[in-house]
């Protein structure tokens, strides 16, 4: 089959690779109908996530049609149209039984690669380096889905493929970030980042009852989409974000701040320049401009919800959180806990994930799609690939 492969830093090629096979009775093989880029893929492409290997197939956000079923699968069948969360969960371990699916104790086949750094391994994820399981990704004609009874969700009739696609990762990640904020009537929520996850976090905060959502970014087309969703846009290159947030909240600060940016944040000032130099020299993995700003902005006793992907950050201001009494919630997405609810919200038109799909490419042109997505050319918010 054909697949988009990582061959080194910023070296992506569509190549012929072996077809996936049923390895365990709980597996299915999915014919990919749609797959999409994600901002966290850029950390892989830029060489900031270790343990990538030449020939690894990229892509963790996808939906498709089941074409082959393992003998132990009972809840889905050949021909079903399904969406699959990006983290792989067994459904049986203690963590899965407590809805902490991205912390699954079973789905990581190489836990020894994570334990020295994290203490305990997380779940495996499609196409996110061998430190996260080494699973082949979805920018391909076919993909193997382990634990299919837990990880495959039927897409209801009436919901388009492009809406279902983003319920694989962007939508549940964003919804989880808003859910972490324990939103109460009258709350103001600030969201750093208007990419796919940030926009889904903004829509989710509104669904959960936020009175006002403030969206922070620098790209006009992204801020325009945030405004179209009902958020108040702030361009961090045009205003002092901390001053603007104080003014918009009567001086108190947002009740909760969501970081949907991660380790490659853009910014201004000496601290940002320091981060860029240290990251370029591989002396730290993260540019923490957005995260530090969110920590300063959140009101005393508020909540900081971290969705951005981070590694090892230099100059992490823990004292800010401690002295202000801030509650910190963070995780990789527990998609299996949210997908059924999000499919219902999308079916009712309350959540509009398909708005993220601005550019479409056949799989053979997926490297071009990534280039456009990475450099935000032509207002590219997400590039969708059609194998």
Residue 278, both tokens: 């240290």
Give the residue from 257, 254, 235, 255 showing the smallest Cα distance to 245. 254
- Give residue-wise pLDDT tens across range 337-385: 999 999 999 999 999 999 999 999 999 999 999 999 999 999 999 999 9
Q: What is the pLDDT of residues 54-70, one digit of tens each?
A: 999 999 999 999 999 99
121 C-beta neighbours (distance < 10 Å), count = 22
Identify the band that residue 218 occupies on the pLDDT scale cut at 50, 70 and 90: very high
- Tell me the pLDDT tens digit for each residue of 264-292: 677 777 777 777 777 777 666 677 789 99
In whole angstroms, give the CA distance from residue 195 to residue 197: 6
If one compares 311 and 24, the residue with the highest pLDDT of the two is 24
Kindly state the percentage of the chain with pLDDT values over 70.
Answer: 98
- Residue 146 pLDDT greater than 80, yes or no: yes
Tokens of 150: 């837990």
**Residue-level pLDDT at 262:** 80
Indicate if the pLDDT at residue 239 is higher than 90: yes
Provide the pLDDT for residue 267.
74
Give me the chain's average pLDDT, please.
94
Pairing of strands 303-306, 327-330: parallel
Burial (CB < 10 A; 0-12, 13-18, 19+), residue 384, is buried
What is the structure's pLDDT at 316?
Answer: 83
Q: Are 87 and 104 in contact (CB under 8 A)?
A: yes
Helix or strand (DSSP H, E) at 69 = strand 61-69
Task: Specify the range with the lowest mean pLDDT, choosing from 138-147, 288-297, 359-368.
Answer: 288-297
User: Has residue 16 got a pLDDT over 70?
Assistant: yes
Q: How far apart are CA 353 and CA 368, in angstroms?
A: 23
How far apart are alpha carbons 156 and 159 in whole angstroms?
6
Q: Among 211, 215, 203, which Cα is nearest to 241's? A: 215
pLDDT at 375: 93
pLDDT of res. 46:
86
- Looking at residue 283, what is its pLDDT? 67
**So what's the pLDDT on residue 317?**
87
Binning pLDDT at 50, 70 and 90, where does residue 98 land?
A: very high
Tokens of 386: 């059609």
């Amino acid at each position: 089959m054909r697949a988009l492969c990582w061959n080194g830093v910023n070296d992506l090629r569509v190549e012929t690779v072996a077809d996936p096979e049923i390895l365990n009775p709980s597996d299915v093989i999915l014919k990919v109908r749609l797959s999409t880029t994600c901002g966290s893929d850029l950390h892989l492409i830029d060489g900031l996530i270790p343990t990538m290997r030449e020939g690894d197939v990229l892509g963790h956000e996808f939906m498709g049609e089941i074409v082959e079923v393992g003998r132990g699968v009972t809840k889905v069948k050949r021909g079903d149209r399904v969406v699959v969360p990006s983290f792989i969960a067994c459904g049986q371990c203690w963590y899965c039984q407590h809805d902490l699916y991205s912390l699954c104790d079973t789905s990581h086949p190489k836990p020894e690669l994570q334990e020295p750094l994290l203490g305990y391994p997380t779940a495996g994820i499609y196409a996110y380096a061998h430190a996260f399981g080494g699973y082949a990704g979805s920018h391909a004609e076919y993909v193997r889905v382990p634990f299919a009874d837990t990880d495959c969700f039927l897409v209801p009739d009436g919901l388009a493929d492009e809406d279902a696609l983003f319920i694989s990762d962007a939508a549940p990640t964003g919804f989880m970030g808003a859910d972490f904020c324990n939103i109460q009537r009258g709350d103001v929520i600030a969201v750093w980042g208007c990419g796919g996850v940030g926009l889904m976090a903004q829509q989710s905060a509104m669904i959960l009852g936020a009175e006002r959502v403030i969206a922070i970014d620098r790209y006009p087309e992204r801020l325009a989409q945030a405004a179209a969703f009902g958020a108040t846009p702030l361009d961090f290159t045009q205003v002092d974000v901390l001053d603007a947030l104080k003014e918009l909240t009567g001086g108190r600060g947002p009740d909760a701040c969501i970081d949907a940016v991660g380790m490659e944040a853009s910014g201004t000032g000496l601290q940002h320049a320091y981060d860029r130099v240290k990251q370029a020299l591989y002396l730290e993995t993260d540019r923490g401009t957005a995260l530090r700003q969110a920590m300063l902005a959140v009101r005393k006793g508020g909540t900081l919800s971290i969705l951005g992907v981070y590694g090892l950050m230099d100059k992490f201001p823990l004292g800010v959180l401690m002295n202000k009494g801030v509650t910190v919630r963070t995780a990789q997405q527990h998609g299996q806990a949210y997908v059924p609810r999000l499919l219902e919200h999308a079916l009712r038109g309350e959540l509009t994930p398909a708005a993220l799909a601005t550019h479409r490419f056949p799989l053979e042109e997926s490297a071009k799609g990534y280039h456009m997505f990475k450099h935000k050319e032509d207002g590219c918010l997400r590039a969708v690939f059609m194998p």
